[in-house]
A and B are shown apart, each in its own frame.
Chain A
């Protein structure tokens, strides 16, 4: 062997090699990704900002949303939701593909790259996608005059953190499941949809009956949304709750990644 293989370097940077390969694959889909990431916010901003928002404000002004314009009230949630769906796309599909459809992970694992590095590499690339999606959304929020440039810039890292927590768990789930058909059904209908509707996205969580509120409590979308509202509009959340929200999301991220890296190693070593 004289090709100049430096195993310690691979052990340090292997995850980045995987991430860069993932980004290269993603770049083949750049047109679709751009269309989704620009089109989606446009539809929401037009439909909700002009349509529903007007209706809500005609009904009760801004009294239900702590004096915030309705479209601005839901903007942090839309932003976090974008991070969540973006990172979900880039963790779930590549993972099932890597283990099952095209078995790319097994090829990667036949080099000095480890299962742990593959997991982290996929995750990092997915995080890049979330950052891209959120940035596009934020620029559109500025363009539509929903938020003012300034402190609202914090909405971006908060949304990415929300997506990051959820994405880490999805990375684990996608590595764990064997039958993806059922998984997609459950994920779409019983996780994503209820999470989007019941996380205080369109109305404060507290305006729902108490027995429905736990959906929000375990939802990364709710935690990220509350943090975003506080950061951008001084929404009036106690500092204790800010810490609770942050702790929840960081715990979700760390737990998800720990489980995912273990599951990747385990499944590759079978």
Chain B
């Protein structure tokens, strides 16, 4: 395997007494799409700011393209495209002016940027908005423009912090499509998310983070295989009865999680399990058989759901 583009060892970041990142290790290979999955406050954004060569670390080592980002900030940043959690576009400028000015910060020639703008407007599906002030764009458009802006310098690595948080489902799907295209083009993506479907869609490999630490690492399907069963049966008996029937249900499956509103039963065959419950005359008010997801992995690892 060739040398990883990003290599992180024992990375720790403290803010006073608070430890935001508690000694994490990971590598990201060229062309890979790598995710940091975890709830809010897991330390994902802090890690991203350190990878973006803008924030300092308390201890540990970080190498991006063989360079320490803390020591060689500008040199490292020259190779990165950064999409922050909160859009920080210049609302007073137009769409194309935003791309142009950002390109100038990389010292790119006017000619190069002009050509690039055409390409990026098409990529971001913003051709018709080129002369519109950014403050007039929708949330989804702003996000796409921020991603386009991050690509103006043709970066080796694109860092995306919560790329679809705050977007409606349709805007999210458009964005995923765009990011998938980048992945196909071989751009190395590093993204944080607290949406398990996003991680499943976009990441080749991911780490599950909680309280600043990495709980598990692997491919989405590998993690599901390792930490969950093939299928999940979700049954509801009404909030009062869920607890009541739980002991009896527990004898029927490998593993079970009792949430306030429903019971999750982990099994290789959901339909068969449901049949068994029916025969025991437990009669859930609703039932659903689905495949295991990263949400189940997270629940298994931390005892909590991702979005609380």
Residues on A facing B (Cβ under 8 Å): 1-7, 9-11, 13-14, 17-18, 20-21, 24-25, 28, 102-104, 106-114, 268-270
B75 to A112, Cβ gap below 8 A? yes
Given A24-B101, A106-B54, A110-B82, are A1 and B108 also a contact pair (CB < 8 Å)? Answer: no
Interface residue? B88 (CB, 8 A): yes
Interface residue? B227 (CB, 8 A): no
Question: Which stretch (B21-29, B149-157, B271-279) binds chain A?
Answer: B149-157
Residues of chain B at interface, number, CB under 8 A: 37
B77 to A110, Cβ gap below 8 A? yes
* Residues of B with C-beta under 8 A to A114: 73-74
B107 to A110, Cβ gap below 8 A? no
Which residue of chain B lies nearest to A20 when distances are taken between CB atoms in the complex?
Answer: B104
A1 to B91, Cβ gap below 8 A? no
12 A-B pairs whose Cβ atoms sit less than 8 Å apart in the complex:
A2-B154, A5-B107, A7-B74, A10-B107, A24-B93, A25-B93, A103-B86, A104-B88, A104-B90, A107-B84, A111-B105, A112-B107
Interface mask (B126-168 → A, CB under 8 Å = 1, otherwise 0): 0000000000000000000000010011111000000000000
B73 to A107, Cβ gap below 8 A? no
* Residues of A with C-beta under 8 A to B149: 107
- Cα-based distance from A1 to B108 in the complex (angstroms): 12
**In whole Å, how far is B107's beta carbon from the nearest beta carbon of chain A?**
4
- Cα-based distance from A201 to B297 in the complex (angstroms): 72
**In whole Å, how far is B267's beta carbon from the nearest beta carbon of chain A?**
46
A5 to B153, Cβ gap below 8 A? yes
* Residues of A with C-beta under 8 A to B56: 269
A1 to B105, Cβ gap below 8 A? no
* Seed contacts A1-B79, A111-B78, A112-B107; 9 additional CB < 8 Å A-B pairs: A3-B108, A5-B107, A7-B107, A13-B107, A106-B88, A110-B52, A111-B106, A112-B73, A268-B54
- Cα-based distance from A28 to B77 in the complex (angstroms): 30
Given A113-B105, A114-B74, are A25 and B154 also a contact pair (CB < 8 Å)? Answer: no
**In whole Å, how far is B97's beta carbon from the nearest beta carbon of chain A?**
8
* Residues of B with C-beta under 8 A to A104: 88, 90
Interface residue? B232 (CB, 8 A): no
B105 to A112, Cβ gap below 8 A? yes
A102 to B78, Cβ gap below 8 A? no
* Residues of B with C-beta under 8 A to A113: 74, 105
* Residues of A with C-beta under 8 A to B102: 107, 111
- Cα-based distance from A20 to B84 in the complex (angstroms): 24
- Cα-based distance from A21 to B99 in the complex (angstroms): 12
* Residues of A with C-beta under 8 A to B108: 3-5
B77 to A112, Cβ gap below 8 A? yes
* Residues of B with C-beta under 8 A to A4: 108-109, 112
* Residues of B with C-beta under 8 A to A110: 52, 54, 77, 80, 82, 84
A5 to B106, Cβ gap below 8 A? yes
B74 to A10, Cβ gap below 8 A? yes
- Cα-based distance from A2 to B154 in the complex (angstroms): 7
B106 to A3, Cβ gap below 8 A? yes
A109 to B54, Cβ gap below 8 A? yes
* Residues of A with C-beta under 8 A to B105: 10, 14, 17-18, 108, 111-113
Interface residue? B55 (CB, 8 A): yes
Given A2-B154, A7-B75, A21-B101, are A28 and B106 also a contact pair (CB < 8 Å)? Answer: no
A5 to B54, Cβ gap below 8 A? no
Q: Considering the complex, which residues of chain B in the window 103-121 have a beta carbon less than 8 Å from any beta carbon of chain A? A: 104-109, 112, 116
- Cα-based distance from A1 to B154 in the complex (angstroms): 6
Which residue of chain B lies nearest to A2 when distances are taken between CB atoms in the complex?
Answer: B154
**In whole Å, how far is A51's beta carbon from the nearest beta carbon of chain B?**
39
Interface residue? B177 (CB, 8 A): no
Given A3-B108, A112-B77, A269-B56, are A107 and B89 also a contact pair (CB < 8 Å)? Answer: yes
Interface residue? B66 (CB, 8 A): no
**In whole Å, how far is B88's beta carbon from the nearest beta carbon of chain A?**
4
- Cα-based distance from A270 to B90 in the complex (angstroms): 22
- Cα-based distance from A219 to B6 in the complex (angstroms): 52
Interface residue? B254 (CB, 8 A): no
- Cα-based distance from A156 to B75 in the complex (angstroms): 40
**In whole Å, how far is A8's beta carbon from the nearest beta carbon of chain B?**
9
A9 to B107, Cβ gap below 8 A? yes
Given A3-B106, A114-B73, are A25 and B90 also a contact pair (CB < 8 Å)? Answer: yes
- Cα-based distance from A10 to B76 in the complex (angstroms): 13
